[in-house]
């Protein structure tokens, strides 16, 4: 009780006057929780990636820092922070230094429109989904710029491959998203989640609200597969890690980066992994809506709609991405292009026709 009194005093004593003096302070709340979300998910993902890869390869993975090596990522971050930063003499210094900013920005900007929980969305833009696609394509600029400015042959090759890959896979990604827009009739991500979380009009039985998810319709199912394959390529993960293929290009576009500049690329990559899983969960798997009970009572309330399910869903999706990464070999650049131009894009166009039929006969 004493502790609660202290907390109340603290809130009344500091937050309230602060709010009265500067009401704009509330605008800083979303950026704080988004930064915490990004940094937290990156720290956990680095550890999880190593543990999952170790498990798949019958190793044990990090062990020494903390229980089950949980603090390993913190030590990794400290190592990157205290590392000497070198900029090659021949590089274009200004552009070289700007590239990490361009790569990191889309990762944080995209989170603005992702509904993490019921009402937990920084800004519910009415063009949300379009904005998401637009912001997502900024990252490719940063990668090309990083590859070009380094004046290193590996970096240039990595940057060019990244450009070809990211723009190619953006098309199936965009076309699969269009299908969701057709079925939901809105661009707002909050509305898209709500359209999947059941309601009086819904066809699904009340004890199985998950049947409302977009992935349980034929066009939605195809779109989900297309999106997940394209997402693997968009975040440069195996089997589509050509831009930074270690065994051919040293480290690809970020070969010349060291210290925290490299760290920022690393953070952006892992945060993008969490981000595309979040988008997939939002668009196809019902976002924060619960698969079992939409309004529970008593104990079951915690399993109702909310933040819990968003994180459960992205955890499963991220695990699948890691599983794919450590199972499949890397594709060649010609195979990478064939998969997209001869496989995913025609399939995505056919899927739009299927979606028209779905909207016309099953109902929007």
Partner 1 sequence: MTGHPYLQLLIMTVGGILFVAAAMIVSWLLRPNRPSEVKASTYECGEEPVGSAWFQFPAQFYLIALLFVVFEVEAAFLIPWALKLGDFLHHAAAEGVGSPWFVVVEMAIFLAILILGWVYALRKGALEWITE
Closer residue to partner 1 in complex, CB, 174/326? 174
Closer residue to partner 1 in complex, CB, 91/228? 91
Closer residue to partner 1 in complex, CB, 51/244? 244
Tokens representing 91 are: 């590089």
- Indicate left, alpha or beta for 298 from its phi (over 0: left) and psi (-120 to 50: alpha): left
Closer residue to partner 1 in complex, CB, 104/210? 104
CA–CA gap between residue 135 and residue 142 (Å, rounded): 12
As measured in angstroms, the least distance from the Cβ of 114 to partner 1 is 12
Closer residue to partner 1 in complex, CB, 204/250? 250
Q: Are 143 and 121 in contact (CB under 8 A)?
A: no
Q: Which residues contact 114 (CB under 8 A, 6 or more apart)?
A: 121, 132, 189, 275, 278, 279, 282
CA–CA gap between residue 314 and residue 288 (Å, rounded): 10
Closer residue to partner 1 in complex, CB, 40/346? 346
As measured in angstroms, the least distance from the Cβ of 320 to partner 1 is 26
As measured in angstroms, the least distance from the Cβ of 273 to partner 1 is 18
Pick from 289, 283, 295: nearest CA to 120:
289
As measured in angstroms, the least distance from the Cβ of 328 to partner 1 is 20
Buried b (16+ CB within 10 A) or exposed e, 217-249: bebbbbbbbbbbbbbbbbbbbbbbbbbbbeeeb
Q: Are 302 and 308 in contact (CB under 8 A)?
A: yes
As measured in angstroms, the least distance from the Cβ of 135 to partner 1 is 9
CA–CA gap between residue 78 and residue 364 (Å, rounded): 51
DSSP lists the bridge partners of residue 120 as 117
As measured in angstroms, the least distance from the Cβ of 110 to partner 1 is 10
As measured in angstroms, the least distance from the Cβ of 104 to partner 1 is 5
Closer residue to partner 1 in complex, CB, 188/290? 188
């Amino acid at each position: 009780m004493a502790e609660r009194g202290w907390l109340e005093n603290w809130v009344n004593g500091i937050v309230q006057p602060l709010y009265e003096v500067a009401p704009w302070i509330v605008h800083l709340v979303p950026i704080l929780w988004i930064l915490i979300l990004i940094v937290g998910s990156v720290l956990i993902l680095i550890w999880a990636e190593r543990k999952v890869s170790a498990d798949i390869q019958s190793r044990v993975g990090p062990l020494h820092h903390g229980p089950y090596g949980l603090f390993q990522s913190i030590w990794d971050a400290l190592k990157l922070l205290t590392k000497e930063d070198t900029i090659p003499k021949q590089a274009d210094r200004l552009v070289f230094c700007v590239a990490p900013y361009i790569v990191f920005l889309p990762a944080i900007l995209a989170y603005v429109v992702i509904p993490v929980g019921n009402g937990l969305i920084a800004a519910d833009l009415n063009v949300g989904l379009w904005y998401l696609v637009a912001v997502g394509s900024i990252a490719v600029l940063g990668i090309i710029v990083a590859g070009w400015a380094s004046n290193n042959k590996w970096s240039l090759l990595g940057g060019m491959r990244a450009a070809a890959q990211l723009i190619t896979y953006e098309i199936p990604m965009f076309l699969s998203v269009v299908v969701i827009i057709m079925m939901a009739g809105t661009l707002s991500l909050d509305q898209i989640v709500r359209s999947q979380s059941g309601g009086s009009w819904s066809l699904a039985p009340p004890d199985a609200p998950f049947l409302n998810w977009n992935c349980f319709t034929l066009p939605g199912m195809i779109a989900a597969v297309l999106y997940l394959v394209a997402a693997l390529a968009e975040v440069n993960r195996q089997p589509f890690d050509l831009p930074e293929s270690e065994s051919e290009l040293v480290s690809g576009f970020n070969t010349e980066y060291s210290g925290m500049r490299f760290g920022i690329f690393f953070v952006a990559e892992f945060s993008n992994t969490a981000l595309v899983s979040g988008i997939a969960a939002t668009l196809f798997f019902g976002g924060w809506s619960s698969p079992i009970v939409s309004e529970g009572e008593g104990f079951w309330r915690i399993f109702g709609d909310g933040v819990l399910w968003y994180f459960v869903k992205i955890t499963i999706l991220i695990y699948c991405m890691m599983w794919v990464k450590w199972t499949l070999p890397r594709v060649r650049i010609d195979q990478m292009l064939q998969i997209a131009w001869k496989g995913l894009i025609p399939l995505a166009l056919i899927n739009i026709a299927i979606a028209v039929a779905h909207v016309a006969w099953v109902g929007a």
